[in-house]
Chains A and B, each alone.
Chain A
Amino acid sequence: MGLLQKFDFKSSNYERPTLHWVCGNISTGKVCPIGPDGRGQCRASFECEPIKEGDRWSCTRSKSSDGKCKAGPRPDGSCCLPITKCVPVETVRGMRGRVVAWAVSLTIGLLIIATHGSGAVNLLSPGGLTLKHGEVGTKCETCHEAFESGLSGWIHEAFAPSDPAGTSKKCLSCHEMGAAPLQAHSLPRSALDQSALEMETLEKVKVAPVALEFARSLFGSPRKIAEELACTNCHKEHRGTQFDKTEMSDNRCQSCHTVRFASLSMGHPEFINYPYSRRTRVQFDHVSHISRHFEKAGKEKAPETCTNCHEPDDNGLKMKVKGFATTCSVCHLEQITGVGQVGQKGISFFSAPGLDVAELRAQGAAIGE
């Protein structure tokens, strides 16, 4: 069987795949030179538009359409060969444009319905709340001030300037965080300043881990004690009931704490008394524990993060060390009960953090023995 397509691209008329509509005769190859208009109407009239040469009309039909016709133009200057109108066909690109228009209007329509209907709450929520928040405030407005104002209000809010205090306002309506809720550990500026000053004089190591140093030079650091942080910098939401809202990586603690606690492999500064009243100091060396002892004691016993040992105090304000029972006893209980060997330097039992006599009794420890 010979070739099916009896004309090649050169001898056929100009194909216009970028247009929305093409001549309906494209399938036969006999497309008319004018082509349809933008709305898909055939514009064909005559095969040519004769021109006047002197006092004679002359045919202008192109070579690819078989050249000048025999009969020639009519005396009034019109072409003698009217074209039968075609039904223009839509190009692939044209069809795609139409599908795009449909997709866009459908999407916008769906979103408008989703944001205006009564179901907006469920449709827009990015996920369930943590267990405790789910219990107290499933209403969106309890945390999102702008929720009631609808789509236009949200767009307006989106362009308002950034403001950690405003952002945290709703959280603070339920959570009492003291006078300086947005400062580090919610400590008032004066306390932070004073303790930082003391630390400056003590500071032995100023070197921070490379990555932290790098992060800080790139993005600055909230380590500057005065900087305020919004609650949401550390507390995420909408990650389901089982999500731990208080989880925080050690790196993030160290974003502020590198000066005093340069790294896990450099010396922890000596513990000194803070300006505010606090429990007596305990002899505890972070570096020797994290770099050596924890490894020796094994994975199951060793704490995984800073917050295994540190927690906010009862007011949720200062960072304190959790009780002996939860932090040290996994490894040191035997020493206290007299079974094991006290470390070489000796461990100062009664200054163990928050040592609770009743608790130790309950665990069967013979205190003072």
Chain B
Amino acid sequence: MTFTSRRYRNILICAAIAASLVLLNWLFDMALRDASFLSGWLLIIGMAFLTIYNLRKKFPFLPLIPSAYWLQFHVYLGFIVIVLFLLHTSMEFPRGPFEITFWLLFFAVAGSGVIGIFITRNLPGRLQQRHGERLIFERIPVFRADLAEQVRELAMKSVTEISSSTIADYYAVRLNPYFAEPRNFSSHLFQSERPLVNLRREIRSIQRYLNKRGREILDDIEVHVIAKDNLDYPYALQLVLKGWLFVHIPLTYSLMIFALMHVVLVYAFAGRTL
């Protein structure tokens, strides 16, 4: 089975399960049962499975399923849980503060999950493409510091070698800040090279104030500028790649606590002692 046909099959199975849940809910209501009871418990079970995905390494008794399958399961179950949630809430926006927070938490987790699918599908491929080298995230600042130091030396050197402060001045105003920290986060994310193109044009525009030696130094600086841009790109992408989980995972736990509280409230107030 090819990748695409497997995906179509999975989507089909997923849609069929979601449809039968909607049907089941409808029949349950028709039999004068409380349908939110059914969808509610299915929701809790589904969300518990989704949460276990994060903890799977801590549960030795779980079967050793290859990571890729776990992820597939997590994604498809995620979609089913979204359908269940819409069913459970009758697609209505809640009215009380507790329930509004609960609702927002759910969609923050579900939404960051959906965004996460796109991130984890796209960014690693882009990282590979743009930069043959696989840089370790933690080391990028060190490489950046190296480049910054080299450029600083080039600028200092220029003062004595061409006895003009043109490059040094430019360094102080533009290059020093550029090398000091990661730049152009959003353009890298959206794959725009505009900032780099502009900066290079700017650098070349001072060529005419320089002699031959000055131009050599300037060329060298430009190479460093490109190298720095090549560092910013994987930095931005890796930041997002790691960063979205900082939303998805902590909010998941908050959501589960709200869900438990909701179950207690519903059982205490809507089920037993009215």
Interface of B is mostly: helix
- Which residue of B94, B146, B261 is within 8 Å of A111 (Cβ)? B261
B156 on interface, CB distance cutoff 8 Å: no
**Distance between A74 CB and nearest chain B CB, rounded to angstroms:** 33
Q: How many residues of B contact A (CB 8 A)?
A: 54
B124 on interface, CB distance cutoff 8 Å: no
Q: Which of B31, B138, B249, B263 has the most CB of A within 10 A?
A: B31
Interface of A is mostly: helix
Q: Is the CB of B30 within 8 A of A162?
A: no
What residues on A are CB-neighbors of B27 within 8 Å? Answer: 211, 214-215, 218-219
Place the interface of chain A in its size category.
Answer: 35 or more
**Distance between A290 CB and nearest chain B CB, rounded to angstroms:** 18
B3 on interface, CB distance cutoff 8 Å: no
CA distance A125 to B95 in the complex (A): 8
Closest to B269 in A: A144
Closest to A143 in B: B274
Q: Which of A147, A157, A167, A221 has the most CB of B within 10 A?
A: A157
Closest to B99 in A: A126
CB-CB under 8 A for A212 and B30, given A29-B139, A92-B242: yes
CA distance A220 to B30 in the complex (A): 11
CB-CB under 8 A for A252 and B32, given A102-B250, A103-B254: yes
**Distance between B239 CB and nearest chain A CB, rounded to angstroms:** 10
Q: Which of A4, A231, A251 has the most CB of B within 10 A?
A: A4
Q: Is the CB of A126 within 8 A of B250?
A: no
Closest to A216 in B: B31
Q: Encode A161-174 as 1/0 by CB contact (under 8 A) with B.
A: 01100111111000
13 contacts between A and B (CB under 8 A): A4-B143, A22-B138, A92-B137, A100-B249, A127-B95, A154-B264, A157-B272, A162-B272, A169-B274, A216-B31, A234-B32, A249-B30, A251-B29
- Add 18 more A-B contacts to A104-B254, A157-B272, A166-B272 (CB < 8 A): A1-B227, A26-B139, A96-B246, A124-B97, A125-B98, A126-B94, A144-B274, A154-B269, A158-B263, A158-B272, A167-B271, A211-B30, A212-B30, A222-B31, A232-B270, A232-B274, A233-B34, A234-B32
